[in-house]
Structures are given as structure tokens and as C-alpha cells.
Amino acid sequence: RRKIIIDCDPGHDDAIAILLAAASPKVELIGITTVAGNAEVDKTTINALKVCEIAGLHEVPVAKGAGQPLVRKRETAPDIHGDSGMDGPMLPEPTKTIVEEHAVDFIIRELLQSDGDITLVPTGPLTNIAMALRKEPAIAPKIREIVLMGGGTFGNWTPAAEFNIYVDAEAAKVVFESGVPIAMFGLDLTHQALATPEVQKRIREIGNPVSDFVEELLQFFMQTYKEVFGFDGAPIHDACCVAYCIDPSVFTCRKLHVDIETKGEFTYGMTVVDTLGTTGKEPNAHVALELDIDKFWNLMINALTFYTEK
């Protein structure tokens, strides 16, 4: 079983990523850490706890992390995720509380104690991961892989930049220059993981409390994607990272060099992907380019069906 820590900002698709991980025998979710992103960190933390509650993840520690990007002023995404960061479903207040340790210290301790077999799965801005790498550089060789959602060859926050990278591009730069193996799931890939009305119907038909929760998440998320981008569906970005940890054969990737733009007037937060090798720089990321759509949704439907028997 592949050990993972999900570092997230739930977030409709972050929530689905957690639920997918919790249902799979192929991964072991050893912790959830939270960061400011879709909403302020207090909100994303409550949301993470609520997801744990509904998934029955009573033993998985949740550690709260950074409330502000490294350098820039915080930006959140209420137009897409609502004011709470996870608007739509009504969930009871969670019974579980966070651990006392800060997310950055949690990540460092887990990695240092490990045999080098932990994968980090960041599905929000990269603030916590960059802070951990800076605070304890000895973790770098201990990280099996960083499987992150971010970037792409087009943007959804600016024409050039995807939200997670844009919100803390300085942090993203630290991560991409760390030398740690990276798998990057950018918008080119995640927009192929589009929850359409047909997918929504399949999920509705499962009919257990967790699939009902996901269906309610989709109702809200698909509505905002319609309003903001005119899409007939919503990309379940963050779940792609978890799907990769479960079954990498769902994706076609290429090893490429990726730089993070932190200075551009129009391009701040852009992932500059060297597709044709013009820089001559060594590849630093496995860039996911193509999704096996059927395999992906079957994985998801199976995971949600698992909660019927649980």
C-alpha cells in the first residue's frame, strides 16, 4: 500500500480526493494537512474534519497548516467553492478535532521517521510543502514523490496561471526546484476528468451517504463551473492525484522540465513546461497529459460503492 499524506484546501474536489483515498486498498492515508486556498485555513480545516466524519476516518490525523502564502497576499476562490470553501452539502459539525502539531511539523516528523516511502499529495497551494522543505531540508531525499495538482499550459485564475500555483507561486518554485520527484496534474489533464451530468447520474444511483454527499458537492461545483466558465460539468482536479497513486496506468505522462514564473507582468504563477526541450534543462516532473476517462470514472464509482458496505 502506498503511504500518502494529502495536503489540501477542501474544496469540493479535494473532498472527493480524500474520499477516493480512504476507499482504496492500494493507498494508506496516513494524514491530512490543510492550507489556505479555496478558503481561509480555518474553513478548509473544518471542511477536512467534516469529510473525515462522513468517511468514517476517525483515526487519520488532521493537522492545520499555513494560513497565508509565503510572500503574497492571500487570495481565495468563493466564486467557485462558495464562502465556506465547500458550499452545498449540509454536514453536521465534526466530532474529531485537529492534532496539536502544525501541518509543517507533522509532514517533517512523518517523513523523517519513515523509510522514504511516503508520497505527498498536495491538492492546494504549495505553502506547507515549501515551508517543510525549507525548515528541514533533510526531508527532501525521504519523499518518495510529490504528486500535485497545479499548473498546466493555460490558466483558470489568470489566462496564464492555475489557481494553486498562482496563489503561492514562490512556494511552487521551491517545490519544483527541490529535486524531489514530482508528478504534475495540471489543467490540461484535470479538465479531462470532467464530472458530466451522466457521471453525476451514476453517482446518484449508488445511493449511500458518502455518494449522496459527493452528488451534493457536484450539484454546487457544476453550477459554479457553469456560471464562471460556461462548462457543462466540473473537473474533479484533485482526485486525479489520488487516482495516480492508486493506478498510474490511468494516465499518460511525459518527463519534462517545468519552471515556475514568479516575475511576469501577465504570467505570474505560470508553469512553464519545456515541451520541446528548448532549455536543455533536466526534466524535473512527470507531467500528466492524457487521462483514460473510463478507467478514471470506474475507479471513482467503485470507490464510492465501497462506502455502501462499510
Given a contact cutoff of 8 angstroms between Cβ atoms, the answer to whether 233 and 222 are in contact is: yes
Pairing relation of β-strands 234-235 and 194-195? antiparallel
Query: What residues numbered 70-129 form the site for ligand BDR, per CB under 6 A?
Result: 77, 80, 123-124
Q: How many residues make contact with ligand BDR (CB under 6 A)?
A: 15
Q: Segment near ligand BDR (CB under 6 A), from 39-47, 157-165, 174-182, 244-252?
A: 157-165
Among Ca ion, ligand BDR, none, the one that 297 touches (CB under a kind-dependent 5 to 8 A) is: none
Which member of 108, 238, 296, 306 binds ligand BDR (CB under 6 A)?
238
* Triad 173, 175, 176: Cα angle to 5°: 65
Residue in this structure with the C-alpha cell 453550477, named with its chain if needed? 223
The residue with cell 458550499 is 87
Which of 261, 259, 121 is CA-nearest to residue 183? 121
Nearer to ligand BDR, 215 or 238 (CB): 238
Q: Cell numbers 492515508 correspond to what residue?
A: 29
Which grid coordinates belong to 230?
460556461
The piece of 10-18, 218-226, 244-252, 302-310 that touches Ca ion (CB under 5 A) is: 10-18
Alpha helix ranges (H) inside 177-292: 187-190, 197-206, 209-229, 239-246
Asked if 33 is part of the footprint of ligand BDR (rule: CB under 6 A), the reply reads no
14 binds ligand BDR (CB under 6 A): yes
Beta bridge partners, 255, equal 286
Region of residue 80 (left: phi > 0; alpha: psi -120 to 50; beta: else): alpha
The one segment of 7-15, 61-69, 86-94, 98-106 that binds ligand BDR by CB under 6 A: 7-15
Q: What is the DSSP letter of 137?
A: G
According to the binding rule CB under 5 A, does residue 14 interact with Ca ion? yes
Binding string to ligand BDR for residues 268 to 307, with x set by CB under 6 A, is what?
Answer: ----------------------------------------
- Show which residues are catalytic: 9
List residues binding Ca ion (CB under 5 A).
9, 11, 14, 123-124, 238
List residues binding ligand BDR (CB under 6 A).
11, 13-14, 38, 77, 80, 123-124, 149, 156, 162-164, 237-238
